[in-house]
Amino acid sequence: MTIGFGIFVLIALATANISRQDSKRGSIIDLIQELNTGNVAINMTAALQAEKRERICKYSREELEYFTLDGLRKLASSVVPNASRMRKGQLIDELVTATKALRVAIALMPDVPLEVIEANSAYANVKVEKLNNEDLVSWTHGLYREFRALVQSRWHSDGSWDEAIHGDIAGLAYRVIHWLNTQPGEQGDGGLSFLTKLRYRTHIVNILTELVETEKTAVYFKQLESCLEMLKRQIKIQIADIANQKKGLQERRVAQRKKEKETVSFKPLYELATATLTKIEQLKPRDWKRVSVSLAIVTGRRLAEIHRRATKFEYVDKSHVAFTGQLKAKGDAAFYFEKNPSYEIPVLIDASLVVKAHQWLKDNSKVVDTPDAANRRYSGDLSDFVKVLKKKWEIEHEFFTYKGLRAIYASVCNQVFNNNDTDNELYLAQILGHGRGELLRHDDIIDALTPQSYKSDFRVVDVDCVKF
């Protein structure tokens, strides 16, 4: 059986003592099939009921619709009373209602960060980094007691500060960073991801702020408030050092990848896209993977962008479309795309075919509402499909994946539409949707590493097949 989307479902099944004939099954589709056909036996204990409820809450309402009524009843056992007597719509409502509080908690509580932090070739593995909230609160309260005593000892009765306060505050900031660096996580080095460290940093700072606010009537309140601002700045500076180290590592990795470039002929990719998209009306629903990969080849968009319901490709001219649906936009970039949701991109085939193909995916129910749902539902099958193509085309490079098609698209566009310019970071950023916030504020691209990474893996040849 083809393994689908390797996500939290596998964890939920394992912890619920679910026995299966094939222990490698891990996709949401596999789970649905097993529950629908009755191929699972669940021995639910009281201790596991809460965990089961927590796992169920990660299914969206849309995903629950894919279960049969019998499958939903099995899923709802020990969670929804009288589940065996309910109709499908009512049972889905009850499942969502029964886990509503947990859904809110997982989405909003900073001490329960559940995030996909890496994808491992064929499967999207969910790495869960949990922090014991009591540990964080207890540690932060201890830090505050030291902070408060320090402020009191460094403030002189004549209204002046001991000069040592600056070094002491920097030392406390280092303690925060050191604590974050020593917490267990799911990264390769056994630590927390950088984004998780940022989240916990924010949580620590918020606790310290609340503790200072409780002392508004204290004699040292103004001094506490002033030193807290110093501490926040020091933590920010020191966490930025980690970011700079991360950036330096990224630079070294990009340089290494450039040394390991593989020459890839664009011809077979173009032939696949052409054969698929020019005959879109003749295709069957089972051909959706060919359509998806073909769209990635000729548009350079991400999997979650192509399979998201809100995404739009609108015809501009034969070689360009207006694209709506840019993902991974934060800060200034998010503000830019909120004001300018569409932007023009080049395509490597007749633009009208791109518009039709994406509508075909929608017509055949191969789009979902959220990026997470798109990755969970389609990444496994598409990864397997690209692996088959990789073997067929005798490509060796480890980064030839669905995501890697984005880099190949960028290289071909640079050759076809940008005169093969070697100084092309700005052009690549523009067609891939990167740096929009930077362009908005600075009229230039500050982060050149991301565009550079798209030209680090492949030397693409045989692009003369692209003609308009």
Label residue 281 by pLDDT band (50, 70, 90). very high
409 and 428 share a domain? yes
The secondary structure of 386-426 as a DSSP string is: HHHHHHHTT---TT-STTHHHHHHHHHHHHHHSTT-SS-HH
d(CA 174, CA 167): 10
290 and 405 share a domain? yes
Q: What is the pLDDT of residue 439?
A: 47
In a domain, 122, yes or no: no
Of 370, 343, 347, residue with least CA distance to 358: 347
Over the stretch 77-89, which tens digit does the pLDDT of each residue have?
777 888 888 888 8
Label residue 247 by pLDDT band (50, 70, 90). low
309 and 328 share a domain? yes
165 and 253 share a domain? yes
Cβ contact 35:71 at 8 Å? yes
**Boundary residue ending a domain (242, 259, 276):** 259
343 and 228 share a domain? no
Q: What is the pLDDT of residue 203?
A: 86
Q: What is the CATH number of the domain that holds 312?
A: 1.10.443.30
* Contacts with 110 (C-beta within 8 Å, 6 or more apart), sequence order: 199, 200, 202, 203
In a domain, 358, yes or no: yes
SS3 content of the chain, % helix, strand, coil (to 5): 60, 10, 35
Q: What is the mean pLDDT of the chain?
A: 75
d(CA 210, CA 219): 17
Q: Is 210 exposed, middle or buried (0-12, 13-18, 19+ CB in 10 A)?
A: exposed
Q: Is 375 exposed, middle or buried (0-12, 13-18, 19+ CB in 10 A)?
A: buried
**Boundary residue ending a domain (72, 93, 108):** 108
Who has greater pLDDT, 312 or 90? 312
Q: What is the pLDDT of residue 236?
A: 83
In a domain, 118, yes or no: no
Split into its structural domains, the chain has a count of 3
Across the chain, which distance is largest between two alpha carbons, in Å? 87
Sequence letter at residue 147: F
Q: What is the pLDDT of residue 251?
A: 53
Q: What is the pLDDT of residue 85?
A: 83
**Buried b or exposed e, range 152-168, using 16+ CB within 10 angstroms:** eebbeeeeeeeeebeeb
308 and 339 share a domain? yes
In a domain, 114, yes or no: no
Cβ contact 378:292 at 8 Å? yes
Cβ contact 92:72 at 8 Å? yes
**Boundary residue ending a domain (201, 233, 259):** 259
In a domain, 284, yes or no: yes
The secondary structure of 204-243 as a DSSP string is: HHHHHHHHHHTTTTSTTHHHHHHHHHHHHHHHHHHHHHHH
219 and 275 share a domain? no
What does the DSSP 8-state code read for residue 27?
A: S
User: Per-residue pLDDT for 111 more than 80?
Assistant: no
Over the stretch 174-211, which tens digit does the pLDDT of each residue have?
999 889 888 887 666 677 777 678 778 888 998 999 89
Over the stretch 136-181, which tens digit does the pLDDT of each residue have?
888 999 999 999 999 999 988 888 888 888 888 988 999 998 898 8
In a domain, 119, yes or no: no
**Cα dihedral 398, 411, 275, 291 in deg (nearest 10):** 60
Cβ contact 466:412 at 8 Å? yes
**Most confident among 32-41, 171-180, 249-258, 314-323 (mean pLDDT):** 314-323
Cβ contact 27:9 at 8 Å? yes
Who has greater pLDDT, 231 or 126? 231
Cβ contact 255:453 at 8 Å? no
Q: What is the pLDDT of residue 86?
A: 85
94 and 231 share a domain? no
In a domain, 429, yes or no: yes
Count Cβ atoms below 10 Å from residue 382 Cβ, excluding itself: 23
Cβ contact 254:453 at 8 Å? yes
| Least confidently predicted of 267-281, 371-385, 422-436 | 422-436
320 and 431 share a domain? yes
Of 350, 349, 343, residue with least CA distance to 325: 343
Place of tokens 């099954």: 25
Q: What is the pLDDT of residue 212?
A: 92
- Once rounded to an integer, what is the mean pLDDT over residues 27-35? 47
Identify the domain containing residue 23 by its residue range: 8-108
356 and 398 share a domain? yes
Predicted TM-score (pTM) of the model is: 0.48
| Least confidently predicted of 147-151, 311-315, 396-400, 445-449 | 445-449
249 and 273 share a domain? no
In a domain, 243, yes or no: yes
**Most confident among 66-70, 108-112, 197-201, 218-222 (mean pLDDT):** 218-222
282 and 240 share a domain? no
